[in-house]
Copies of this chain bind each other. A is one copy, B any other.
Amino acid sequence: MVNIKLTIEYDGRNYCGWQVQPNGLSVQNVIEDALLSLTGEKIRINGSGRTDSGVHALGQTATFKTLSGIPPESFSKALNHLLPIDISIISSCKAGEDFHARFSANGKHYRYLIYNRESRSPFYDGRAYRVSKRLDIEAMKKASEYFLGTHDFKGFMATGSQVEDTLRSIFELSVKRDKELIELSVKGNGFLYNMVRIIAGTILECGLGKLDPTELKGIIASGKRESAGPTLPAAGLYLVEVYY
């Protein structure tokens, strides 16, 4: 058995998310089907983590074991011939026997895109979250600083999540504007369910003038979901890279 690592880019709009679900087509489904066509083997692939319906990836990773003699580097090209245009295997390589896309990961990089203009966009619809009101980018930058470092992010997790250890470290959190596009870039050792989308929603509240950045210290410390901002839509979220 050879252990193969895939790096995958996908537009999440047409999928119920990464993971196989009873109803709906998942990215994992589609790749497993392509692997079956290619190798004849019923292969189960392990992603670095789930992405929700509508969430995109520029660098999702997955591992799987195969008996096929296909050279590891050839899987990307061969699979791309079988995959729809909204899923692309950027690269494939042989991984160490014990390497696992999820358990070997020690950090992730996410991006959240906000499109700041009044009219909707043919190019960013479904790929960014549109906000009509002009945002205060300086307030958003100031807000982002409060999330840096190690915190108990209990208040920045979807209500109902069962995770007990809610301590996470954020290494980097930047907010940049390029004309109408605002990009939040977040790197950390791990993220709770919906954590990036709630952080983005809280930073957005600062950009809208509904929250003052100085309130964030207290909001984070409170550990209360209702003190933080809203969970922004999936369409703006991208899994950029998984660190190993």
Contacts and interface: CB of A to CB of B under 8 A. Distances in A.
Given A9-B123, A90-B119, 15 more contacts: A9-B121, A9-B122, A11-B122, A56-B122, A76-B119, A80-B119, A80-B120, A86-B122, A87-B122, A88-B120, A88-B121, A88-B122, A89-B119, A90-B117, A123-B127
A88 B11 contact: no
Interface string A1-24: 000000001110000000000000
Nearest to A11: B122
A120 B80 CA distance: 8
Interface string A98-123: 00000000000000000001011111
A125 interface: yes
The oligomer's copy count stands at 2
A241 to B, nearest CB: 12
19 contacts: A9-B122, A9-B123, A10-B122, A11-B122, A56-B122, A56-B123, A76-B119, A77-B119, A80-B119, A80-B120, A85-B125, A86-B122, A87-B122, A88-B120, A88-B121, A88-B122, A90-B117, A90-B119, A91-B119
